[in-house]
Structure formats: C-alpha cells, structure tokens
Amino acid sequence: MSNPILQLQNIHRHFFQGGEDLHILKGVNLEIQAGETVSLVGASGAGKSTLLHITGLLEKANEGDVMIDGVSCNGLSDIKRTRIRRNEIGFVYQFHHLLPEFTALENVVMPQMIAGVGGNKARKRAEELLEKMGLAERLTHRPAQLSGGEQQRVAIARALANRPKLLLADEPTGNLDETTGGEVLNILLDLAREEGTAALLATHNTSFAKRTASCVILKDGKLHKGVKMGA
Ligand SMILES: Nc1ncnc2c1ncn2[C@@H]1O[C@H](COP(=O)(O)OP(=O)(O)OP(=O)(O)O)[C@@H](O)[C@H]1O
C-alpha cells in the first residue's frame, strides 16, 4: 500500500502567553490516505485552526513531525516548506479571499501561472473545474457579481487548481446558510474524492461532519476518533 498523503506524528504546540504555558496540542497523531475526506471537530478554542496551520506548514510544532506524501517536513528549510505548501497543499478558508478585480476564471488560472503552468493549459483546467462546480455560466463574473456560495465554489476550484495532494479547509462553509453550505460541501467532497485529494476539514457543523469518510474530535489537546460516518 502507498504512503498516506498526510501523517501527523506526535504533534505538540505550546503558546507562551502572559507568563503562562498554554499546551494546546498534546501529541496529535493522524493519517489521511489519497481521496480520503476527514472532518475535524472540536469546541471553540480546542486548537483546530492551530492544527490546520501546522499541517499546512504555516507554523511549526514545538515537537513532532508533519509528513506530506512520505516527506518529513519538520527539519526542512523555510524555502522547502514553502515549496511543498505551494505545490502539494490547497487551502480553503471561511472567507473566500478571491482577488476582487479578477474574474472567476482568472482567479483559478492565477495560482497555476504562479506555479509555472502555461496559459492555455491553466485556462483549460480552470474551465473544467469551474464547470464541475456548476459555474460554466459565471466564468467572466467578478467575485462581487457572484453569490456567497458561488464565491466559495470559485475558492475551492482555486485551491484544487494545481492538483494538490492535500486539501485543508477551515470552516469552508462557515459563512454560508445551511442549504448553500451543504451544497458547497458536497461539491468539495465529490471533487476531492474524484481527484484523489486527501482532505482535512475543520467544521463546527456536526451534520456536515457526517458527510466525510471519517471524523476526528480534538479535545484536551488530543484527537479522538469520531463515530464512523457515512461515505
Ligand atoms: N499566536 C497565539 N498566541 C497565543 N495563543 C494562541 C495563539 N494562537 C492560538 N492561541 C490559543 O490557542 C487556542 C486554540 O486556538 P485555535 O484558533 O486553534 O482554536 P479553534 O479550535 O480553531 O477555535 P475556533 O473554533 O473558535 O476557531 C486558543 O485558546 C487560542 O487563544
């Protein structure tokens, strides 16, 4: 069997605040395979965003290792960590962070051009992704001309544009109503499975968490296996 796409090994994170040692993550372990979707739930302040930041190589753990497709990222230089982050990891946030002056299509083309993909190829990939998102009629719309759900679908297409091995999403539907959020989540999960992307999604919405292949709960600094969920 091939390597898991993501392995978190004994991750610890402390914050030192006002003379106090806040030990937020106390030995977190997790494995996610290609095409596997996992939701991350936990009370506010449990450390979900901190764990996603460490997993996305945006910050470092005080102890432990993040392995991306078998590569140990702990001891790598900042340049190598940035390269892995750019090439192997896609991010979706609660707010879409699309570039307002560019169209939907251009927003999805852009990260590919930055990664060195040629214009025609990048455009074709962007069109395909946006069509799968049900946005074929919205390619030339700017973010302000799109609904919240449409904006978030463009953000998901952008995150997947460079075919990342790992998709990290922090409350990807947190800014949407229940129905729209559910639709956006289904699209995200279908696409991640279809593309073989490993996905870790932090969410407060327990009914949404049921739609991923598995669910982990962050509590008292450790991950606990959630009840085995649906698909
Ligand atoms: N840079 C920092 N310095 C000090 N404390 C921090 C820092 N970043 C996070 N924390 C603390 O770590 C804890 C976990 O924060 P985090 O944002 O990861 O939680 P969360 O589970 O994502 O919460 P929410 O669901 O409310 O977004 C909180 O108590 C927070 O105050």
Q: Say yes or no to pLDDT of 228 above 90.
A: no
Contact 199, 210 (CB under 8 A): no
Q: Which of 14, 17, 22, 39 to mutate to test the pocket of ligand 1 (most atoms within 8 A of CB)?
A: 22
Does residue 9's CB lie within 6 angstroms of at least one atom of ligand 1? no
Cα 80 from Cα 180, distance rounded (Å): 38
- Would you state the structure tokens that stand for residue 89, as one six-digit string? 């990891």
Contact 67, 6 (CB under 8 A): yes
Domains of the chain: 34-48+85-225 (3.40.50.300)
Question: Has the ipTM of the complex gone over 0.85?
Answer: yes
Position 210 scores a pLDDT of 87
- Would you state the structure tokens that stand for residue 33, as one six-digit string? 């395979």
pLDDT in tens, 104-140: 999 999 999 998 999 999 999 999 999 998 999 999 9
- Would you state the structure tokens that stand for residue 155, as one six-digit string? 């953000």
Residues 6+ apart with CB under 8 A from 120: none
pLDDT in tens, 148-203: 999 999 999 999 999 999 999 999 998 888 999 999 899 999 999 999 999 999 99
- Would you state the structure tokens that stand for residue 132, as one six-digit string? 């799968």
Give me the helices (H) in 56-103, please: 78-88
Does residue 2's CB lie within 6 angstroms of at least one atom of ligand 1? no
pLDDT in tens, 18-49: 899 999 999 999 999 999 999 999 999 999 99
Cα 50 from Cα 58, distance rounded (Å): 9
Q: Which ligand 1 atom lies nearest to the CA of residue 53? A: 18
Rounded to the nearest angstrom, the distance between the alpha carbon of 47 and the centre of ligand 1 is: 5
**Strands 71-72, 214-219: parallel, antiparallel or unpaired by DSSP?**
unpaired
Q: What is the largest CA-CA distance in the chain?
A: 55
pTM of the model: 0.93
The string of DSSP codes covering 28-60 is: EEEEE-TT-EEEEE--TTSSHHHHHHHHTTSS-
- Better-predicted residue by pLDDT, 40 or 230: 40
**Average pLDDT taken over every residue of the chain:** 93
